Structure 1
């Protein structure tokens, strides 16, 4: 911004100098030439008053001194030089002055003024004054050089003033930019400092007010998530203890599978609450998620959990993971939660066989969840919170899954509309302790 301000100021000053200096330079040139011709005319008039009517009969004429570096001479009606200095024969200005009018003209490389001398209403001679045009030209060039120097000084002053003004304008904006970067990095307590520029102060005040409102909104949301999770933890913990106690105390073969499934569901619900609570914290506090579970364990648990729900509605679920190393590990809880959301979405909104295919991309894993249905409406709105595609549901699951994927440093996207395919990309770690190489 500073360079732009300086550039604009210099261009404006340059345009102003050019618009002022060029006409002024032309006016100075015209004035200097006119002044020199006035000087020559005064010298010629001074010589004309000293000419006696009897000069033609031999009366000597005493002309004044000629202009500096020039000539002053008296010519008779026949164009002969009778006194003073100048061309031996009359030139054009002298011939024109014999008509009875003073003449200003150029003669070769000289400026010349010819003044007629009259007696008894007759022109009896002409006094010619001249000076080299180079004398005036040199004065013009010297004046132009001085004018150019003044213009350069004016531009230099304009640059200095522009740099100072640019610094005064840019410094508060740079401070505001640094403040915005700090806010973007998670420092919601940062506030823009006031400056001495009213317009920028207004922007800073508006920004601070917006940031305060945003901070309050985020605080209320975090408090709500923390309160909700806290209130859910206690009954979930009690339910989990009750189910564990029931498994230990009951030997009924018909009751134990139901208790075990209820306990597993309770544990998943507890993990979901913890994951949602973690997402409600600031992004800076999240930190990287550790890869704490082997991929094979995650896939087996998912397959065991979802085989039954799909079978009960007459649909087939297949989990395929070919040629994957045994030492791949992933963040277990969030990956499981995302896959559960995608599989439940396929169960509710899709049809036909559902496949979970895992592909190794060296530095990441791709989880493809495909069913035999198609995406209705606008695919871009699938991840909008509250959009359920016209079917049952709250429209929160896919948005939550995308946020969970983002918290892992991965990405969730719709990669196929017919058939419907969602792809989850997750950075992976390789557990060297699995194959004994550690």
Structure 2
């Protein structure tokens, strides 16, 4: 299955149309490969090349590179500044798909594994891993003489790091080191803005979470909450708008959730990856939050079972959560044991009352079978006299939990 995470870095609008350098890619999850396409002008100057490289810093140093002519693909490493790239005889698992010249543009497409090892200037073998690091993209074009690249005549370095591969679904399911996932619709990819994706994984006294969905960029959000019952009140909530991950609490019906300053949350990454809002973070197994009537509620994911509530919708013009509507929300029809039951000593952390939105960073549950034999139910919302769509769920092969949300299908792997 191929994800739809296509990015085009149109350097021409920065440098003028004469440069014509472009780069785009797509992640093929089923192959664990990235398909890369690069293009540059030939200008009728004879044999030419177009090249791309990936570097941790915005400079031509310690970079994993590839160039192609209209006939071949070569792999190279840029080790030191102002040093000629080191070309490699073997491209390894990197394979050329197509290359050619059309309308004055040399374009080539090739497949690269998500992880490639290259030797850097200090002699260290470094893993250029698209799943774990972000990279600056370097583009160049120049003459190709006697089978070698000549110093580039045009080049550009993308000023900000690019997240090549964001949240992934191929590690969902049972087993050590894997994660429990909710996908709506079932089997959808986190790279799709129409896919609501949420995952949990226990790591010691922490719960590691991933959220993905909507267009991000502060325009749309995806939210998850944990509640002791099936009502949309007194719930521990988190939402992601592609710029910020915010911890909050749902206190009462028909009231906007309250944003909290939550030091128990550790944000790994927030951002809009290939047009999709994504956040990765962790929280303590147990936190205390002030809920309705000023009472302090303990949300202990390590020992208690909770209903899962989720929603998605637009952000309002003032930067607040917009109403999700009847089609943009759902909940589990039973409380779910989220942690793996490991006997760990931990304390419950108090979350302060102050209302503050967490700043975005720049980056980044195994357990027993759940919800077997659960029946469909409708939950009334007294504020609207309308039924809240619930998850009508059943276990399938004890691995995937298939759920119905307001007529749409969802799946939870656990």
**TM above 0.5:** no
Structure with higher Rg: it is 1
| TM-score of the two chains, using structure 2 as the length reference | 0.20
Greater per-residue strand proportion: 2
TM-score (norm 1): 0.20
Q: Which has the higher helix share?
A: 1
Q: Which one has more relative contact order, counting CA pairs under 8 Å at least 6 apart?
A: 2
